[in-house]
Amino acid sequence: MSGSPHRLRAFAAGAAATAFLSFGAAAAAPTAAQAAATARPVLAVPEHGAAPATECALPGRTGWTDEGHTTDYTTQFQRPLGTRHVLMLFVDFPDAQASGSTSGYYRQLAPAADWMKRDSYGRTTLDITPLGRWIRMPQDSTSYGFQRGITFEQHEAYVRQAVAAADPYTDFSRFDMVYVVPVRSASAISFSPTYLYDPTTAGVSADGTRIKWAVTFGQDMWHWGFKVADHETSHTFGLPDLYAFTGTDYHRFVGGWDLMGDIAGAAPQHLGWERWKFGWIDDRQVACLPASGSRTVRLRAVESPGGTKIAVIRTGETTAYVAESRRAVGADGQACSTGVLIYQVDTSLQTGYGPVRIVNGDPGATPPPGCRALDMAAFRPGQSFTDPATRVRIDVEGGDALQDEISITKQ
């Protein structure tokens, strides 16, 4: 969930729903296609006769958080590289006063730092510094509007009050962003929105520093665990929500395949596309097919460093199909299926309205306990995906412990 300078988007809020994109069905790859694929060179890294990765980079078109490569890291969002210094504040209220130490609250969220470091191949580090004392907020917890779908103005006021109350005890100029953690008895502070500043206003400042980014945690942190911090911090990096803001199946777009969808999903590491957007994988690790053609690509699982990470078939100004290899490794150790994950990206679609949509490679599968249908989506060797509308075909040729070999075609 993330805030906007104009309106804070809550779990099921937003504009009118966008129509679903149609996907081709999974089917066994014909033997002839497999034979033809063996004649194509295997693309280990995209320098070898392939189009530059930049030809498959898509511009964002929403003016806010989206899956595009034109994220404004100059004036709006936080660049997701290097060390991000985070100050963690602990707040209580006149109607919900704390007793005891803040250490348990810190321990609940601190593992987010190690998770982010592993997820980014060590390229992004969260240096979280707790201010080990309770800070009293000036208003009752029930007065801030969280129960009613807090507005941007109310949210900014909450951040401003927390910063002002903590200012005598710390130097805000040392930090890039702030985490505000409420006492557990403050049930009115229910959910965890992200504060993204509005550069056209005075905003919140302390110690000569503009407070541009903050996560204000709610009682849902005790349900989601530390990964809620990684999810919300990813909004400050420019990522949208991948769960649905409308309907009853909130996880119909990506299931448990990405932290920006289901925080508690079985395979929650960031998609390869987002890793490329962030700079966690390099252009040389992207196999790009921007126009008609065909080639074979060897993908190394996104959970493991090195190798070609994604194959991208561009289908329009703001659309592409992406294929990546997923394995039950690391933070994805509980993945419900493994193999080639295929999804469509549309950078013109707003947060919460399906900018990423997973193609289900096994729609007839019966999910085991703890998994949903879309969690079974990975394609296996011998399967193929076709989309007649865009003339895209992806064939899974084979795979081993950490790699998959695919052929990608656009007519």
Show Cβ contacts of residue 263 under 8 Å, excluding neighbours closer than 6 positions: 224, 227, 228, 231
Instruction: Decide: helix, strand or coil at residue 166.
Output: helix
Question: Euclidean distance between the first and final Cα of the chain, in Å?
Answer: 39
Per-residue model confidence as pLDDT tens digits over 163-194: 999 999 999 999 999 999 999 999 999 999 99
pTM: 0.88
Q: Taking 70 as the threshold, does the pLDDT of residue 353 lie above it?
A: yes
Q: Given this model, what pLDDT does residue 53 score?
A: 97
The answer to whether 316 and 56 are in contact (CB under 8 A) is no
Q: Taking 70 as the threshold, does the pLDDT of residue 6 lie above it?
A: no
- Nearest 5 degrees, angle CA 243-CA 248-CA 252? 40
CA–CA separation, 299 vs 406, rounded Å? 8
- Single-letter code of the amino acid located at 309: K
Q: Given this model, what pLDDT does residue 1 score?
A: 61
Q: Helix, strand, coil proportions of the chain in percent (round to 5)?
A: 20, 25, 55
- Nearest 5 degrees, angle CA 258-CA 119-CA 222? 65
Q: Given this model, what pLDDT does residue 40 score?
A: 36
Q: Taking 90 as the threshold, does the pLDDT of residue 3 lie above it?
A: no
CA–CA separation, 252 vs 354, rounded Å? 9
Element (H, E) at 37: helix 31-37
The answer to whether 228 and 293 are in contact (CB under 8 A) is no
Q: Taking 70 as the threshold, does the pLDDT of residue 27 lie above it?
A: no
DSSP 376: G
Helices (H), 103-237: 103-109, 112-119, 152-166, 221-224, 227-236
Q: How many CB atoms lie within 10 A of CB 291?
A: 10
Instruction: Decide: helix, strand or coil at residue 66.
Output: coil
Q: 15 pLDDT band (50/70/90 cuts)?
A: very low
Q: For residue 210, what are the CA distances in angstroms to 140, 175, 274? A: 26, 10, 27
Helices (H), 167-303: 221-224, 227-236, 272-278
Per-residue model confidence as pLDDT tens digits over 223-270: 999 999 999 999 999 999 999 999 999 999 999 999 999 999 999 999
Residue with tokens 């949210």: 155
- Single-letter code of the amino acid located at 132: G
The answer to whether 194 and 215 are in contact (CB under 8 A) is yes
Per-residue model confidence as pLDDT tens digits over 300-338: 999 999 999 999 999 999 999 999 999 999 999 999 999
Burial class (CB in 10 A: 0-12, 13-18, 19+), 142: middle
- Nearest 5 degrees, angle CA 74-CA 357-CA 241? 45
CA–CA separation, 255 vs 114, rounded Å? 24
Q: Given this model, what pLDDT does residue 283 score?
A: 98
> Token pair for residue 256?
């448990």
Give phi and psi for 118, each to the nearest 5.
Answer: -65, -40
Per-residue model confidence as pLDDT tens digits over 84-98: 999 999 999 999 999
Provide the mean pLDDT of the chain. Answer: 90
> How big is the chain by its Cα radius of gyration, in Å?
22
CA–CA separation, 277 vs 280, rounded Å? 8
Chain centre distance of CA 398: 28
Q: 4 pLDDT band (50/70/90 cuts)?
A: very low
> Token pair for residue 98?
């704390």
Q: Is the dihedral of CA 372, 376, 378, 384 positive or negative?
A: negative
Give phi and psi for 206, each to the nearest 5.
Answer: -160, 140
Instruction: Decide: helix, strand or coil at residue 56.
Output: helix
CA–CA separation, 92 vs 133, rounded Å? 10
Instruction: Decide: helix, strand or coil at residue 97.
Output: coil
Q: Given this model, what pLDDT does residue 147 score?
A: 81
Q: Report the pLDDT averaged over residues 376-383.
A: 98
